[in-house]
Amino acid sequence: MSSPVSHGMIGLSLGLAYVLPKGSWRYAWSAFREKWGLLAATLFLSGSPDLDLLPGLWVGNLNAFHHAYTHTLGWVFLMSAGVYLCWRSFHPEDGWRCFVLFFLAALSHLGIDYLTEDTSYPYGVMAFWPFQSDYFLFNRSYFLGPEKANVAALFQWHNVKVMIVDFLVCLPILLAVLVWKWALKQRGRRWKWSS
């Protein structure tokens, strides 16, 4: 796994790409206020595969159930579909693009973990379950793996370094989204986030 910083920043980048409105910064704040719940759902989904750390708390080993079925395509689909159906019942104006946003947010977690240093078995992510149970890990790491054997191990300098690296790697992506929206404004294009 990577740290919540990388998952959160990529989730935020995806959410802002969706929420920032209609090629104009003038309405950005009102759109942000109107759609903060959608941003929160996007952030939740981008971190949701790491919910498998919670049962590890119970047995005193955070890694006990980590990187199994929650880090799979099956989980990504079920979680994004579930959150989308809940969201849609309150916001029927949000159509299929909202589902795509939720799906990509959850999927981004697998992508980041695939690119993250992994020093404990099982290595990588079982990305394509339920279609196959092989684990995948890229042969080069762009993110550091945090120390997380137990809760006490979380509070150490190495994990601060992990979060700094996460921030620096993800910042260009977040900025690219903002520049993209700015460019939309410059070209005077309209972009609707609701279907």
CB of 18 or CB of 75, closer to Zn ion: 75
In the bound state with Zn ion, the residue whose beta carbon lies nearer, of 65 and 99, is 65
Q: How far is CA 132 from CA 56, 73, 105, 125, in A?
A: 25, 10, 22, 11
DSSP for 134-184? --B--SS-SBPPPP-SSTGGGSSHHHHHHHHHHHHHHHHHHHHHHHHHHHH
Choose between 113 and 166: whose C-beta lies nearer to Zn ion: 113
Residue 76 CB, nearest distance to Zn ion (Å)?
A: 12
Report the nearest approach of Zn ion to the CB of residue 104 (Å). Answer: 16
Give whichever of 115 and 184 is closer to Zn ion, judged by the CB atom: 115
Per CB under 5 A, residues contacting Zn ion are: 1, 49-50, 113
* Contact predicate 166/142, CB 8 Å: no
- Please, are residues 49 and 109 in contact by the beta-carbon 8 Å criterion? yes
Compute the least distance from the CB of residue 102 to Zn ion, in Å.
17
Cβ-contact 85, 49 below 8 angstroms = no
Rounded-to-integer distance, Cα 11 and Cα 5, Å: 10
Residue among 3 and 13 whose Cβ is closer to Zn ion: 3
Residues 6+ apart with CB under 8 A from 129: 69, 72, 73, 74
